[in-house]
Chains A and B, each alone.
Chain A
Amino acid sequence: MLLSSFNRTVFLAFLLLMACWSGLSTAQETASGDHVKVRWLVPDTFGPGAETIGFYFEVDPGWHVYWRNAGDSGAAPRFDFAGATGEVGPIQWPFPVRLPIEHLTNLGYEGDVAYLFEVTPDAAAMDIVVNLEWLVCKVDCIPGYGIMTLSRPVGTAADWQPQEKQLRDRFLAMVPAEATAENFPWQVAAVTASPQADTLQLELAPRDAGAELSSPDVFPLDGGLLTAKAPEVAQAGDNIRYTFERVPGAPMPPTTGFVVSDGERAWQLDDEEIRAGAANAAGAVASATGPANTQPLWLLVLAAIAGGAILNLMPCVFPVLSIKLFSLAGHDGQAAHRVKEGLRYAAGVLVTFAALGALLLVLRAGGSAIGWGFQLQSASVVLGLILLFWVMALSFSGLYEFGHHLMNVAGRSRGGSFATGVLAVFVAAPCTGPFMGAALGAATLLPAYSAMAIFLGLGIGLALPFVLLCVFPALLNRLPAPGPWMETLRQALAFPLYATVIWLLWVLGRLVGESGWLIGAMLMLVIVFAFWLGRHAFRGSRWLAWGLVLAALVASFSAANRLQEQGVASGSVQQQDVTAGWQPYDRNAIGQALARGQAVFIDYTAAWCITCQVNKKLVLDTAEVADLFRKNDVYLVRADWTNQDPEITRALGELGRNSVPVYAWYPAGERTPVLLPQILQVSMIKDLFSE
């Protein structure tokens, strides 16, 4: 023992000698370079056991040295132990701060820092020889090198200068501890890599529910995977979600690590498993629950045709078709003409579906998450439809003999039937029939040609009843002969149109806030006033009318657009839901409820989806159903897709859908949802609990 420690000392002395001769730097107890002085942080006498000691870096103000992951540039200091009379542990790195340097972010220390390590002497003296290299930077960087030696006696107990020990303890407290259930106030809810966006999300959940914790800083350990830029921090219920930017093109390792710090203490998370995010999960779920990969194409197309046909009966399509049928009935009834009209209508529907399908495919290829029904998510489109339906309604009511013009638009001319077809598709899109959702969902996951086949299938379905009616005059002939009844009917048909206008106004309100109503109503008022002006032809009144309409159009459309961009939307709506027991969509909260084994019901809905609203009013918001949900302790979620929330788009994608309504039911203790039909009945909800 004595001999070996003697040998060791000789060996160290030899090393020292070598170091001196190598001439890089003189071996001594300190090292220094531009803006940096390094000295030991050690006791005067070592005890026999393990001791944590360190290198104390005194750095000029404004300059900094680096953490183990230096961030976007820079480099961590290196400590190369050439020899030691004892066991030397790994370097312990106090938690860093983010240092934004021009366009980059570095991880390091502002001011002095101590890099610590543990030694256990196994000789009569604690001798260490270490090669140092460091980088000190302000904006420009200066590397420094040095060799430091240490020689202290080993006694029965460690003997520190009090201020030295204090300094050591200060930095020791900043060294991250391995995170455990006892010491770490959070737990890792998930580490998720999103394949589309170059991001990685870390989600921390407070370990004790309801604990008041401010969001800690999180530093990635792997600078090759994540940039040092401060992550986007979002509160998700009680959880905190950190979205880190990935280094472009970095391959995804199976696990990664972080250091979490509350500014006083720090914890280290090692080897957190990275789960694949949205797209992969969507694929997996779709193949499990959706028809996408299992059903033959012809079946899907058939389903699409059936779904399209049912669209005809949807409340938002029916008015358009009535108009068209009305115009045909008013016609002199030549079969050939009717067939032509029917085919034109079909062409309009199909071309529009093809165009929308192509658009969806292009956007899908672009990686953009988009759902069916997106037309009505734009305030200008809604306002345009309000305008259209309002003018039609006014005309039907007889305020303005717009009949001939209207027939030209939605009726007689070639463009007319075609235009009706186009219109039908746009108006139908939001209220997807029961079959449409599945088919469309599949379409977003299928190869392009199959997706297009499904779109065309939907179009064929939508156009079919109308074409049949045109081809088989027997059916059409059952319509009564032209006469005074037409006037009555026309006036009666105005009312569904007024209803549609009200519904659209409401949609606009949901999109841009309460001013949506005002903007829409003002535009409507100006239109009526302009009609009145136009009818009472005094000098220049027509010009005045046109001018007014133009001004109103410009003002209202730009206001609606601006409001939507400002995102004045939603909010208020959700609050009222929360009091009724419905929570806004929050992936983590849902995950937690599922983890608790609680039953979860998710209502994927949107203001512009009339089927959704009908289901809500007639089923979900009834006292009976609310009672059922309460009794069975169901976690209720209303996923409001009115503004095309990307999180909800993703969730829909995972269910193999991209339109609403979707009703996902997770029975207690289950993690795979049952999807309920798109048209709900109270009995269906009762059945969920009857087993």
Chain B
Amino acid sequence: MKQGMRSKRSIAKFLGSAVLFALPTLALAAAVPGERAPAFSEVDAAGKTHKLKDYEGQWLVLEWFNKDCPYVKKHYGSGNMQALQKKYADADINWLTVISSAKGKQGYLEPAEALDVAKNHKLEASAPFLLDSDGSMGRAYGAKTTPHMFIINPEGEVVYAGAIDDNDSANPAVIPDSANYVAAALDASLAGKAIEVASSRAYGCSVKY
């Protein structure tokens, strides 16, 4: 009996791993710190196309967004994310906020809705949301969570990939005591210093591809 159970389980395991092997060929692509950023071309909520090429020679921050994700709410409800966007926009750093939710999934927005959400969230990004509903950009970057953050330097290299800060609580009250990785990386870069933390476990909700 027990034997039978075990063999059944190992068959299930085997099938499981076979599926695991078959599936993630696409998911393997990712933006890796120290390597070139994957190219993208996405239309924003206002209908303008943004390409990686457009940002050559400039700093670019990418942020993955889902308005219904508690972790996104943590950083937008507290104004933390918008404050960062504003601060670095003033330092001529581009900031694109990407929605990779597929149609019918949590966080998916039609262009008109997205413009509204941008407005009522007081989004301070360089463009209203990039609408990546086919998930191509999210998959190319290996965006796992909202908010997943990437920083791309003027040479087109990824210099940071991971969480926004070091505290994976959903409670906005922890923000003042959290170490913000994105701000630290940008500040270090602007000051011509090396980035101390270039990678972290991205916390948050899964991106709803």
Chain A contact residues, CB within 8 Å of chain B = 70, 72-76, 78, 100-104, 133, 135, 137, 139-143, 145, 198, 214, 223-224, 229-230, 232-233, 247-251
Contacts and interface: CB of A to CB of B under 8 A. Distances in A.
Contact of A143 (B16, B170, B198, B199): B170
A139 B200 contact: no
Given A247-B199, A249-B198, A75 B206 contact: no
B76 to A, nearest CB: 15
Chief secondary structure at chain B's binding surface: loop
B168 A75 contact: yes
Interface stretch (B24-32, B44-52, B116-124): B24-32
Given A70-B168, A249-B198, 17 more contacts: A72-B145, A73-B205, A73-B206, A102-B206, A102-B208, A103-B207, A139-B206, A139-B208, A141-B205, A143-B70, A143-B170, A145-B171, A224-B162, A224-B199, A247-B201, A249-B35, A250-B200
B24 A103 contact: yes
B145 A249 contact: no
A70 B24 contact: no
Interface in B138-191: 142, 144-145, 158, 161-162, 168-171
A74 B10 CA distance: 28
A102 B102 CA distance: 13
Contacts of B201: 223-224, 247
B106 A140 contact: yes
B20 interface: yes
B34 interface: yes
Contacts of A137: 205
Contact of A75 (B17, B30, B169, B207): B169
B204 interface: yes
* 6 tightest Cβ-Cβ pairs between the two chains A and B: A249-B33, A143-B170, A248-B32, A249-B199, A75-B168, A224-B201
A146 B190 CA distance: 41
Interface of B: 6, 10, 16-17, 20, 24, 27, 30-35, 68-71, 106, 142, 144-145, 158, 161-162, 168-171, 198-209
A75 B200 contact: no
B30 A248 contact: yes
A102 B209 contact: yes
A251 B30 contact: no
Contacts of A145: 171
B206 A214 contact: no
What does DSSP make chain A's interface, helix, strand, loop or mixed?
Answer: loop
Contacts of B69: 140-141
A76 B16 CA distance: 25
A141 to B, nearest CB: 5
A133 B171 contact: yes
Given A248-B199, A249-B161, A103 B206 contact: yes
A135 B69 CA distance: 12
Given A73-B205, A103-B27, A224 B70 contact: no
Given A104-B144, A139-B208, A75 B170 contact: yes
Which of the listed residues A101, A198, A247 has the most CB atoms from chain B within 10 Å of its own CB? A247
Contacts of A78: 169
Given A248-B31, A249-B32, A73 B203 contact: yes
A256 to B, nearest CB: 13
A133 B209 contact: no
Nearest to A225: B201
A357 B71 CA distance: 53
Given A248-B32, A249-B161, A72 B199 contact: no
A458 B148 CA distance: 52
B206 A249 contact: no
Given A145-B171, A214-B6, A249 B158 contact: yes
Given A75-B203, A103-B24, A248-B31, A230 B17 contact: yes
A139 B207 CA distance: 10
Contacts of B207: 103
B170 A133 contact: yes
